[in-house]
Amino acid sequence: MPKVQETILEIDLKALKHNFEYLKSKLEPNTNFLAVVKAFAYGNDADEIAKYLQDLNIDYFAVAYANEGVALRNVGVTKPILVLHTLAVNFDIILEHCLEPNLYNAKILKEFIAFAEGKNQKHYPIHLKFNTGLNRLGFLKDDVDGLVAMLNNTNAIKAKSLFSHLAASEDLNERDFTLEQIHTFNTLANNFSKAIGYKPMLHMCNTSGVLNYPEAHFNMVRCGVGLYGFGNSKKESANLKPIARLKTVISQIHHIEKGESVGYNRAFKSEGAVTKTATLPLGHADGIGRIYGNGKGFVTVNGKKAPIIGNVCMDMIMVNITNIDCKEGDEVVIFDDKTTSAETLAEHAGTISYELITSISQRVKRAIIK
Ligand SMILES: *Cc1c(COP(=O)(O)O)cnc(C)c1O
């Protein structure tokens, strides 16, 4: 590994493959695998990750918004791409790039049918989402009759899948609620398939759903965070490998005398003896939010923990390296695949790995490790 000389997010494709194979080993052989690569593949690098997973013969991709799907098509992704959060303004680019919209209420379904008919489409693949308790997007049980009528009235579109999303798949205290969601979806989907006279694919599980509810894998599962190395529990995270390591270097070292302060608003004050600090070239514009400041977050310098002191700046953080043997230019680890994982760092600041990793901004260089 070349020595790090600036802030770098290293992305390890071998770890990605490990996670993919681990999650796949939990499925029946004929269950399809959809990789959720929204938000730059959770802040990693959607292009490289999607291309690599396509080479591993993944079945499906999903993004949140249409423009993310366009970006994948532009780098050569040819597998089907489900757009989880369709907005009517994007119908044109959806069609132009053969993206498959999730249609989640009567308004957008009606609009998409009219659009597809206007473009002389036949059996354009769409996906229908049911709300079974998350109360975010999706049709309700009472919408089914209207839905069936709309579908049976046109051949411009065809339902390729019916799906739903679990509200608390990682929380076993909510097991009863989750089982009820699965039951509701099963009933809805079966009635719906009967009424339209063909069987779309069914899917419901995210990563934690895959791990905790094997009875709900249906025809396909949708994994995001697990592919990137986090399992939503200590036990499952141990079976997965974080694919990303965020590293940087020490730009400058200061010795702060008693009574002096560090950073904006003088948020850190040296109280005891001299505090030795290191200034690092990354800040909240790179994804290390202000919640990590003032001792909540930490980095690792030559194997030792160095707390972030004072307020996080836009482009820099300062860390306490008193008693750590180091010099300007030395490598610093923000998170890696070991004890100082993104999950641990996020927990220290009271947030979750999803938020930390998806926040790493596009300013940070990515290095793909094959
Ligand atoms: C983001 C998302 C997923 C992936 O969830 P993970 O917990 O990251 O595996 C699956 N399904 C839907 C609808 C999503 O929005």
Distance 318 CA to ligand 1 centre (A): 34
Nearest CA to ligand 1 atom 10: 206
Query: Which pLDDT belongs to residue 154?
Result: 97
Residue count (the chain) = 370
Closest ligand 1 atom to Cα of 163: 13
CATH level 2 (architecture), domain 31-228: Alpha-Beta Barrel (3.20)
Q: For residues 335 and 360, what is the distance between their CA atoms, to the nearest angstrom?
A: 12
Q: Alpha helix locations (H) across 119-233? A: 144-152, 175-196, 207-212
Single-letter residue type at 364: V
CA separation for the pair 259, 270 (Å, rounded): 5
Query: How far is the C-alpha of 161 from the C-alpha of 163, rounded, in Å?
Result: 6
Ligand 1 nearest atom to the CA of residue 232, by list position: 7
Q: Which residues line ligand 1 (CB under 6 A)?
A: 36, 84, 165, 206-208, 222-226
Do the beta carbons of residue 268 and residue 261 sit within 8 Å?
A: yes
Token output for 313? 């700046």
The H-or-E segment that residue 347 falls in is: helix 342-348
CA of 175 to the centre of ligand 1 (A): 18
Identify the active-site residue in 22, 38, 213, 276.
38
pLDDT of the chain, 370 residues: tens digit per residue: 678 999 999 999 999 999 999 999 999 999 999 999 999 999 999 999 999 999 999 999 999 999 999 999 999 999 999 999 999 999 999 999 999 999 999 999 999 999 999 999 999 999 999 999 999 999 999 999 999 999 999 999 999 999 999 999 999 999 999 999 999 999 999 999 999 999 999 999 999 999 999 999 999 999 999 999 999 888 888 999 999 999 999 999 999 999 999 999 999 999 888 899 999 999 999 999 999 999 999 999 999 999 999 999 999 999 999 999 999 999 999 999 887 999 999 999 999 999 999 999 999 999 999 9
Which of 277, 282, 283, 278 has the alpha carbon at shortest distance from 251?
Answer: 278
Q: How many helices (H) and strands (E) does the chain have?
A: 12, 19
Kindly give the number of the ligand 1 atom that is closest to the alpha carbon of 227.
Answer: 9
What angle (nearest 5°) sits at the alpha carbon of residue 61, between those of residues 55 and 64?
Answer: 145
Determine the Cα–Cα distance for residues 102 and 66; give it in Å rounded to an integer. 11
- Rounded to 10 deg, the angle between the 106-118 and 144-152 helix axes is 0
Ligand 1 centre to CA of 284 (Å) is: 25
Q: Please give the Cα distance from 44 to 10 (Å, whole number).
A: 9
Instruction: Find out whether 147 and 139 touch, Cβ atoms under 8 Å.
Output: yes
What is the CATH topology of the domain spanning 244-369? Lyase, Ornithine Decarboxylase; Chain A, domain 1 (2.40.37)
Q: Please confirm, yes or no, whether 104 is among the known catalytic residues.
A: no
Taking only Cα atoms into account, the Rg of the chain, rounded to an integer number of angstroms, comes to 24
CA of 224 to the centre of ligand 1 (A): 6
pLDDT for 87 equals: 98
Catalytic residue among 264, 304, 305, 338: 264
Distance, first Cα to last Cα, the chain: 12
* Closest atom of ligand 1 relative to the 64 alpha carbon: 15
Query: Is the Cβ–Cβ distance between 356 and 342 less than 8 Å?
Result: yes
368 closest CA partner among 7, 127, 112, 45: 45
Secondary structure in 3-state letters for 87-125: CHHHHHHHHHCCCEEEECCHHHHHHHHHHHHHCCCCCEE
How many A from CA of 365 to the centre of ligand 1?
A: 25
CB within 8 A of 29, min separation 6: which ones?
A: none
Contact of 153 with 114, CB cutoff 8 Å: no
Q: Nearest 5°: CA angle at 187, between 186 and 189?
A: 65
Tokens linked to 183 = 């039951």
> If 0-12 CB within 10 Å is exposed, 13-18 middle and 19+ buried, where does residue 250 land?
buried
Q: Per-domain residue ranges for the chain?
A: 31-228, 244-369
Q: Which of 171, 222, 237 to mutate to test the pocket of ligand 1 (most atoms within 8 A of CB)?
A: 222
pLDDT at 70: 98
| Chain-centroid distance, C-alpha 237 | 15
164 backbone dihedrals φ, ψ, rounded to 5° = -150, 170
Query: Could you tell me the CA-to-CA distances from 319 to 50, 151, 209, 230, 262 in Å, in that order?
Result: 35, 59, 38, 27, 10
CA quadruple 318, 322, 325, 328: dihedral sign: positive
- How far is residue 276's CA from residue 304's CA, in Å, rounded to a whole number? 14
Whole-angstrom distance, CA of residue 305 vs CA of residue 302? 9
Round to whole Å and give the CA distance between 177 and 133: 8
